[in-house]
Amino acid sequence: MKIQTVEPIEVAAPAGELSSPWSSTVILVRVTTSTGAVGWGEAPTTLMTHPVRESVREVARFYTGHDLADHAACLREFERYSFYRSRSMEATSALSAVDIACYDLLGRELGAPVSTLLGGAVRSKVRAYSNGWYSDAITPEEFAEKAEAMVRQGFRALKFDPFGDQYRTLSTEGLTAAVDRVGAVREAVGPTVDLLIEYHGRFLPEAAMRAGRALDAFEPRFMEEPVIPELSDALAGFRRVVRTPVALGERLLTAADFESFLARGLVDILQPDITNSGGFTYGREIAGVAAAHGAPIAYHNAFGPVQTAATLQMDAVLPTFFLQESFEASWPDWKRTLVRGYAIEGGTFAIPSKPGLGIEVDERAVERYRSDIVDPIGPEPPWVIGGTWVRRPPSARGTSRPSPERGKPRRR
């Protein structure tokens, strides 16, 4: 069975159903074999939708025409040629998507879930934490109300960014506002719900440490990416003065990256992203590094449903699994239609046990939402949950701001 085609497909919110920037586009990869079998992968976007899509075409040259059973050799050959791979998220994202699709195909061919190919599942369900739930929340009361709604759905862990429009530095007013928001959520949900504080890698070390010391009082389960990534050595100082564990990993690309952070004492909880850190092939290596250090893993998972399905297969086999990120409760309707085969209920994912990724992609929906748009830009960066930097009018609540770059998606 030979790999015949590797096709990147961008899908995006339809006209009239605008999404928050973090959910506005998805890159799917469809791999088809000489027998007509199809496997699916996914790559991240976040202001690099088109560069990643084009990188998939580069990766495809190393797989097309080769036996599916030789997919690992194809990956290693790409390594040899891709000079900047270890520092290019575009390259590793494209490689990840193709690797995921190849495993999906192999699982389907063998009649086994990917978790079996990875050594066998050690769990059938995983606890999830909700993200994306706090759109259009600025005041402490708005954060508290939305947090209570997630708890009513069964979530016992919530991640959120309380820092508003603060960036690099943190004003006295900005810190007070963050403390008030976290305090309101803690009071609303009680002491038994885990609070996870998202910094989005935005602060200089001094600002991060001031925030960390202030928010320690609310006993968060972790603080994510407290400092600007290029200043990551400062995490050693952060960990000395802040009690809450540090989580990070969505911007790390290789097992060696994770090993370096663990060996230098810069991180407590790892958050690899299966769609940018080498799919299942590198994912096994990263899991081995984590196991060697006894480091918990909480996979980053912020894009689309194929990513979630693939991540759940990794969760099934992780010796140090901790928590699973989920945006599903806050997804726009169009994204919910792309895939069938998994669900989250009461804050828990059941891991699909059908062959491959255990899902079925609705190819009619994929064609319906096929697009060529670029990521939207506006008053809030694309990694922001909509309406948390800038107050939006009531008529726009729950959607992103229209942007000149969006226009009407082009259908093909």
Catalytic residues: 200, 300
Outline where DSSP puts E strands in 236-353. Answer: 246-248, 269-270, 324-326, 339-340, 344-345, 348-350
CA–CA dist 394, 409 (Å, integer): 25
Give 333: exposed, middle or buried? Use CB within 10 Å, 0-12, 13-18, 19+. exposed
The DSSP secondary-structure symbol of 375 reads P
DSSP, collapsed to helix, strand or coil, labels residue 294 as coil
Contact indicator for 20, 7 with CB cutoff of 8 Å: no
Outline where DSSP puts E strands in 72-204. Answer: 125-130, 157-160, 194-198
Rg of the chain, C-alpha, whole Å: 20
Question: Residue 44, CB half-sphere, CA atoms under 13 Å: how many?
Answer: 26
DSSP, collapsed to helix, strand or coil, labels residue 168 as strand
Phi, psi torsion values for 8, nearest 5 degrees: -80, 135
CA–CA dist 304, 298 (Å, integer): 17
Provide the sign of the torsion angle of the four alpha carbons 389, 393, 394, 396, taken in this order: negative
Provide the sign of the torsion angle of the four alpha carbons 297, 298, 304, 306, taken in this order: positive
CA separation (Å) from 118 to 39, 94, 310, 315?
Answer: 17, 21, 12, 11
Query: Which residues does residue 27 pair with via DSSP β-bridges, in sequence order?
Result: 10, 43
CA–CA dist 223, 219 (Å, integer): 10
CA separation (Å) from 198 to 182, 193, 263, 333?
Answer: 11, 16, 23, 25
CA–CA dist 178, 226 (Å, integer): 14
Residue 253, amino acid:
L
Ramachandran quadrant class, 326 (left: phi over 0; alpha: psi -120 to 50; beta: rest): beta
Give 319: exposed, middle or buried? Use CB within 10 Å, 0-12, 13-18, 19+. exposed
